[in-house]
Structure 1
Amino acid sequence: MLGPKTDNSVTDSQDVNQVGHNSGTMNIGLTFEQHERNVRELLAKSEALYERLLEAKDRTSRAELAEALAQRDAALEILANLQENYEKTLADLSDLKAILLRYDNVLDRTKHAAADAALDRGDRTLARALLTELSAKARARREDNTKEEAELEFKLGEIAATEMRWHDAAAHFAVAVKLNPTFDTLLRAHETAWLAADYPAALRFAEGLVNWANTQGTREQIATALLNQAWTIFFQDRDEDADGLLRPKIDISEATFAATLPCYTQRLGRIAVVMHRQGR
């Protein structure tokens, strides 16, 4: 029978050398030193890609350069907040282990053990493959499994985003939106489509986010959705339209908008650097 176990208990695998931290009831073998090494390797790769694209700027599109810059800056941001990111990574890895354990009754035991061991090194590759397999099986089932498949696709999107594979992340989040449109799925679909430099898709998801927020969201969610839509339009050279969206005909206080601004300011700065280097 395909599907997660209803028993949510979590036990440790005896096949994994548990030398790291315990996140909840799930041991994670990744040490802080290993995590730092992984991040520095990721940063080195992203910087090398960015420099190669800069050297070939005559043959590099704005979209390619923007995506590479986003990858590099994301790695730099992680390195600047390494302890906080380490703790988040432990929680994410623990969550992945718990998800795989829910499907222990349908997973190949050897593959499952290998995926758990890889997660203890901070490597999500094998877990990603198993989640992809589970999502495909859920899709093939006859009974209603939309929510389950959406959850798996969302998790695959999170893995891809963590690995800065923006196109793959955007594709997974887009599937999650199609299956179960929520504030989180729409927001992540918009963010990763933008990072993948797929601006038309980013605008579609931004509009979808506004529609969702206007019908069932909180004031903070409405403010976030409007800011997403506004800066997406702004960077498509539609300044007047963007300004109009930031003056909505709804009762949202300036403080509510202000609380959502820091992350958007950072995003705008990244794109501004790209445009400046392109002489725009």
Structure 2
Amino acid sequence: MANPEAAFEEFQRRTQELDALLERSGNQIGGDRLAEARAALEQGDYSIADELFAEIEERRKLEVQEAARAAFGRGEIAEAEVRWGDAAEHYARAARLDPRFTTLSKASDFAERTGQFATALRYSGELVELARTRETPERQAVALNEHAINLQAQGRFGEAEALYSQALEIDTATIGERHPDYASRLSNLAGVVEAQGRFAEAEALCVQALEIDKATIGERHPDYATRLNNLALVVKAQGRHAEAEALYVQALEIDKATIGEGHPDYAIHLNNLALVVQAQGRFAEAEALYVQALEIDKATIGERHPGYATRLNNLAGVVEAQGRFGEAEALYVQALEIDKVTIGERHPDYAIHLNNIAGVVRAQGRFGEAEALYVQALEIDKATIGEQHPGYATRLNNLAGVVEAQGRFGEAEALYVQALEILEQALGAEHPSTQTVRANLELLLSEKPD
């Protein structure tokens, strides 16, 4: 031994530290075993102390798991009572204490429901990693679907679509294509396909999901109502408003008999019905539906949630349609403030809300300000939904209108032509949106100075 004194000092230091640790755990060990371990330590024998620490570690692990189970139970109670904010907190605590499949899955789900998209994405990423290494293929599909939901919520549509497709491939090989979970994944895939403007493809997926539901969970189930609502969304996107309205009403009737009229999902479906009612020019009726949806939101998800911002934005739209521009602008601003602290300023929905506030700014004659807002929205669209999406064409059309209002007719014409080409390709020549842009272009050409 090169330095026996130093080695002896190190031995004494370590012995004292271990002795102190044992002392702090004395209540769990008992006096006789503590004395035995100490005596052994003085002789350089660590085996008894090691056994005691192993016992304490295992006991504490069980205590942590018990705490996680209690937090999870509180989460389930809060979920049942539709206190989603509380549920998200409890499930998050359970996941931190004991990160297993069920806790991570719930933590991700309720973080997403409460608008904490970055947090949800982190939990679902952990869920996917766990599932790939420790879980069955069926659970791997569940994890991939959950992660895809969170990617979609952040506007990462291509990534989300790939994961939904991967989950469906696993489902085909495991639970089969006539299972309610397969229908759920089909419906989710339809949502992200619709978000990218591929409406006919999305509609076919929605119909397929509904057929599975009819044969499994039946037509009086809340999930069936959700699938009806999703089909209505894509039907409305293709301009078939009366058909979409009938589907929304059917979904709401199922909701009333199942989840009830105070549930956040009921608010979503009311909001969607309001959109199609508004599209048919029934503004007062639509406004009442938006207000009703917002009241439900206040009592459930709260006023700092992205969904609440969306409903505010939609209410602003129908207020604007009735000529109350100042009131509408204030609502749009409020929605954007919520967006900034939830989804952020690079999200497709933020672009939609910028576009909408630009419209009411333009209606008040502030053309330069409106133009800047449209340009900002288009920049976000380029980085998210892309330049072949109908939403991008809508923003181009709106930018063209404000450019035209400022007398820059050649520039406006080019923008209308670009928007028309996108819409004809994505929606067809007879879609109402396509016809609107074509009419705008024709009017410009007929009135443009030589």
- Of Structure 1 and Structure 2, the greater helix share is in 2
Q: TM-score, normalised by structure 1?
A: 0.44
- The structure whose Rg is larger is 2
Q: TM-score, normalised by structure 2?
A: 0.30
